[in-house]
Structure 1
């Protein structure tokens, strides 16, 4: 889907080096938008091979191409639904693999009059799983 400029979008990322990205693809049943294996070169969004090997393994999906909204809530709810979160076994998997998870939110606030709308239930769910919700605000 070709998207117009959006003033908000979000991603979900797992950072860890114990399991290959395919492990998380099978676990969630979702193809990632980004993935890397520590020490290996990766293909960048431009289609080029990275100049340096990845410093950490990661697996992630994004909402930008799937949700048309300038608010964060629809983007975060899309990711929660797509990944079937929360999952009762995920905190133990994160602990076993030494993984960290986060929702990373892009928030364009050039005018300075917008407040990020991160739903309390999503913030609480991430905290309960040991993850974080981070908002990167651009002014």
Structure 2
């Protein structure tokens, strides 16, 4: 039996070229779902090697395999807990490494009647740490 297609998931992502991906793994104490340094070969989710290397350093932790929900809130709360957010020194690290940090949310809205649920406290927390919450909606 094939798994059901989930209508939502989220990923915490840091993009930067100052520190290697292992820096973020050690900082959070969490293994990434995907990571790579600028210029390194890029392994695709399919297991195939891309002909295009990483264009910038990337460190990603996804909720897709851990949470079974079609709402964003459980995915985002999972990532907050799993990564120990908020962290008092994270904003300074993001600034020092010239990084971009975000929650990237997948939102399937083929029916056109679903409204993404991002809790205000999570938006406020990410902004305070220097990050953003982005929703990639599919119709």
TM-score grouping bracket, smaller chain normalisation: over 0.9
Q: Distance in 2 between matches of 1:3 and 1:52?
A: 30
Q: Distance in 2 between matches of 1:53 and 1:44?
A: 10
Q: Distance in 1 between matches of 2:138 and 2:129?
A: 28
Determine the structure 2 residue equivalent to 1:46.
46
Q: Distance in 2 between matches of 1:110 and 1:92?
A: 39
- What is the root-mean-square deviation of aligned Cα atoms in Å? 1.1
CA deviation map 1:82-107 (0-9, x unaligned): 00000001001111111110000011
Q: Is the 8 A contact 1:36 1:57 kept in 2?
A: yes
After the TM superposition, which parts of structure 1 deviate over 6 Å for at least 4 consecutive aligned residues?
A: none
Displacement of 1:3 in angstroms is 4.9
Q: Is the 8 A contact 1:3 1:65 kept in 2?
A: no
Q: Distance in 1 between matches of 2:35 and 2:104?
A: 15
- With structure 2 as the length reference, what TM-score do the two structures score? 0.96
Determine the structure 2 residue equivalent to 1:88.
88
Q: Is the 8 A contact 1:108 1:138 kept in 2?
A: yes
Identify unmatched segments of 5+ residues in structure 2: none
CA deviation map 1:23-44 (0-9, x unaligned): 0000000000010110111211
Q: Distance in 2 between matches of 1:132 and 1:112?
A: 24
Determine the structure 2 residue equivalent to 1:27.
27
Determine the structure 2 residue equivalent to 1:8.
8
Identify unmatched segments of 5+ residues in structure 1: none
Q: 1:78 to 1:18 in 2, by over 3 A?
A: same
Q: Distance in 2 between matches of 1:75 and 1:3?
A: 18
Q: Distance in 2 between matches of 1:24 and 1:3?
A: 31
Determine the structure 2 residue equivalent to 1:129.
129
